[in-house]
Amino acid sequence: MIPRDTINTIIETARVEEVVGDFVTLRKRGVNMIGLCPFHNEKTPSFTVSPAKGIYKCFGCGKAGNSINFVMEHEHYTYPEALKFLAKKYNVEIEEEEQTPEQIKELNEKESLFAVSAFAQKFFSDQLFNSEEGKSIGLSYFKNRDLREHTIEQFQLGYSPNSWDAFTKHALKNGFNLEYLVKAGLTIDKNGNQFDRFSGRVIFPIHNLSGRVIGFGGRILKSEEKKAKYVNSPESDIYSKSQVLYGIYYAKNAIIKKDNCYLVEGYTDVTSLFQAGFENVVASSGTSLTTDQIRLIKRYTPNITILYDGDEAGLKASFRGIDMILEQGMNVKVVMFPEGEDPDSYVRSHRSIEVEEFLASNSKDFIQFKTNILLKDAKKDPVKRAGLIKEIVQSIALIPDQIIRSVYVRECSVMMEMAEQTLMNELNKNLRKRFKQSSQQYQPDQVLETPELPAEKQLSVSYNDTEYQEKDVIRLLLNFGQAEIEFEEVDENKQKTKIPFKVANYIVSDLIGDEIKFSNTSFQKIFDEFVEFVSKEAIPDEKFFINHTSRNVSSTAIDLLTSPYELSDKWQIVANIEVLTEADQLKNAVVHSLLSFKAKKIDQLIAESQQTIKKAEEEERYEEIQDLIKRQQELKTISQDINKQLGRVITR
Ligand SMILES: [Zn+2]
């Protein structure tokens, strides 16, 4: 855990213009700086950095944040990784919160496992290149598979001698602790006798994201029936199969550049494709694909292309993997290799340009792929076809994006020669079921930002949408919270006095009094923070929200702070009659904004009550209807009153 104070020091020290400036050429424009956005392709710069606010924002693609967010986005770091990166670069000492003895022990254990794994990798590589056995068995195996020496060195491939305990002995002699040799899975300890786990195998080291060796895969060369063809390191404190992809360390930059990731099955598929220039390739070796592995890829690209060898049984098993990828909101394509070929063999027997053409012309989206395979099975059997439709629609229902879903439904209806509506109905059934399941685990923090509506559309949005009005109130709070506005008060002697209010205090007390809630949770959170501050007679500045620990709050704040409120435009009509001071304009804006928000909320209540009355009428609950209509009348009176006040603000 990095303490909040240290995070603040990092934010203050790592100036946003410097951090961004390392990656983007910035020019000065007014108080801001501007450059070409590194997150989307553009020819005219719309990427703006505000040194004063400590933020960047792209007006083209909408990416925005502070210096930490920039490093996370640009370098694909997690939050703590980005903090550590910046701390190191700007010489900020990170005092991690005090660690318990258990944590220290755990850290030391991990370092010991890393050390023994690195030592083993060097031993295996040395054996491969420098021992007679390694050269004649291991190296010749790799060379027979057309791997060049450079590739072998790059992937740190190796060879473990065919002996009981050559490695274990060597490691013990070099001062390594048997405990860690066993924990790292390199040595098997049976009743006090020690054996090398990988003896007589060629070795594929498995690296984590920063390139450290965390485990090994070993392939046997002689065909011994009793022994497994592949052996992998067991799980350890540094190696968790389900969270690692073979080759990710070497592939990550190419995955970003190509905006696609090839997913294969074996180690040699990875090394062969990589050597042939297809560097954006990883394997989920040792396990079937897991959600963690998919998320790992998603850090770099939303696009996955799965490469399959043409083995029928394996294909159907692959459906589950495809569904998991769809569920993560990623795009899946599938390439099937001709029968008897796998990616490794295909790459070795074809030139790179041919491989490239093959991949391009054979990559199918998952609907085509799944439908083709299942259709082959079902043929004309109507029962089987019905089952097939269900299965495909189930996959489509997993896609989080509604637009993409409807595209797939259309495509599926063409392929299956079926009415789109039939598929839609089936899809909706699935979605309802999923909604019921997921509503039980609903996380209120994950509210999607709705785009701001242009003025003419505001009138036509549905009655239950108060987003625009909510946004307006929060925008005023963030931009003008500390500004002062004055209200006239008339006492019993008809003496007028002007009473000053801070905008934040005025808005907070006005909304708290009426117990009004925001439906957008980020807005509510920002409002709640203001309530808290106001009660302590303080008002937070914009930096507090820009650097807020909740990413939803900070990006909402940045959005509202960077599309400034046009006071003068809004009050032009008034200004035509008489010139208003800026404070008066602001006061009008605040009062108007609060009234609009309330008016909209009341409209919502009226619409809801209309529904209730209608339902009561249908169910002939006449005795209740009287009360309901009375309540409806009250609401309408309030609404009229608010609208009258609104009219007064505008015409003054
Ligand atoms: Zn952009």
CA distance 179 to 185: 10
State yes or no: pLDDT of 628 exceeds 60.
yes
Average pLDDT over residues 538-543: 85
The band of 649, judged by pLDDT with boundaries at 50, 70 and 90, is low
pLDDT at 171: 95
Q: How far is the CA of 562 from the centre of ligand 1 (A)?
A: 15
State the burial class of residue 638 (Cβ atoms within 10 Å of its Cβ: 0-12, 13-18, 19+): middle
pLDDT at 265: 87
pLDDT at 437: 65
Q: Residue 463: how many CA atoms within 13 Å on its side-chain side?
A: 10
| Long-range Cβ contact pairs of 175-184 (< 8 A, separation 24 or more) | 176/115, 176/116, 176/119, 177/112, 180/109, 180/112, 180/113, 180/115, 180/116, 181/116, 183/109, 183/113, 183/236, 183/237, 184/113, 184/116, 184/117, 184/120, 184/233, 184/236, 184/238
Q: How far is the CA of 75 from the centre of ligand 1 (A)?
A: 15
pLDDT at 96: 67
State what percent of residues in the chain have pLDDT above 70: 89
Least confident of 80-89, 165-174, 237-246, 366-375: 366-375
Which range among 163-167, 368-372, 469-473 has the greatest average pLDDT?
Answer: 163-167
| 297 touches 376 (CB < 8 A) | no
Which range among 144-153, 310-319, 476-485, 491-500 has the greatest average pLDDT?
Answer: 144-153
Q: pLDDT tens digits for 597-620?
A: 988 888 888 888 888 888 888 887
Q: Measuring CA to CA, which residue among 556, 530, 328 is closest to residue 448?
A: 556
Higher pLDDT, 279 or 496: 279
| Encoded tokens for 361 | 């012309």
Q: How far is the CA of 561 from the centre of ligand 1 (A)?
A: 18
CA distance 455 to 126: 71
Q: How far is the CA of 264 from the centre of ligand 1 (A)?
A: 32
| Strand ranges inside 342-404, DSSP E | 364-365
DSSP 566-585: -HHHHTHHHHHHSPPPHHHH
Q: How far is the CA of 257 from the centre of ligand 1 (A)?
A: 16
The band of 283, judged by pLDDT with boundaries at 50, 70 and 90, is very high
Q: pLDDT tens digits for 217-243?
A: 999 987 665 778 889 999 998 898 888
Q: How far is the CA of 30 from the centre of ligand 1 (A)?
A: 20
pLDDT at 570: 46
Q: How far is the CA of 24 from the centre of ligand 1 (A)?
A: 12
Q: Measuring CA to CA, which residue among 97, 202, 204 is closest to residue 156?
A: 204
- Residue 64 in 3-state DSSP? strand
Q: How far is the CA of 298 from the centre of ligand 1 (A)?
A: 19
State yes or no: pLDDT of 547 exceeds 70.
yes
pLDDT at 577: 43
Higher pLDDT, 104 or 356: 356
Q: What is the DSSP letter of 242?
A: G
Q: How far is the CA of 38 from the centre of ligand 1 (A)?
A: 7
Q: For residue 209, how far is the Cα from the chain centroid?
A: 17
Q: How far is the CA of 68 from the centre of ligand 1 (A)?
A: 17
Q: pLDDT tens digits for 201-211?
A: 999 999 988 78
State yes or no: pLDDT of 651 exceeds 70.
no
Q: How far is the CA of 260 from the centre of ligand 1 (A)?
A: 19
CA distance 551 to 546: 9
Q: How far is the CA of 500 from the centre of ligand 1 (A)?
A: 42
Q: pLDDT tens digits for 372-399?
A: 888 877 777 878 888 888 888 888 988 8
| Strand ranges inside 68-144, DSSP E | none
Packing angle of the helix pair 382-397, 366-378 (nearest 10 deg): 160
pLDDT at 106: 72
Q: pLDDT tens digits for 24-46?
A: 888 888 788 999 888 887 778 88
The band of 576, judged by pLDDT with boundaries at 50, 70 and 90, is very low
CA distance 580 to 592: 15
Q: How far is the CA of 266 from the centre of ligand 1 (A)?
A: 37
| Encoded tokens for 300 | 């770099």
pLDDT at 369: 85
Q: How far is the CA of 42 from the centre of ligand 1 (A)?
A: 8
Left (φ > 0), alpha (ψ -120 to 50) or beta: where does 146 sit? left
| Strand ranges inside 312-446, DSSP E | 331-336, 364-365
State yes or no: pLDDT of 456 exceeds 80.
no
In the sheet that holds 230-232, the strands lie side by side as 158-160, 201-207, 213-220, 230-232
pLDDT at 566: 54
pLDDT at 386: 81
Q: How far is the CA of 62 from the centre of ligand 1 (A)?
A: 6
pLDDT at 161: 96
Q: How far is the CA of 218 from the centre of ligand 1 (A)?
A: 44
pLDDT at 438: 53
Distances in Å between the Cα of 572 and the Cα atoms of 263, 468, 479, 566, 631 are 59, 21, 20, 10, 38
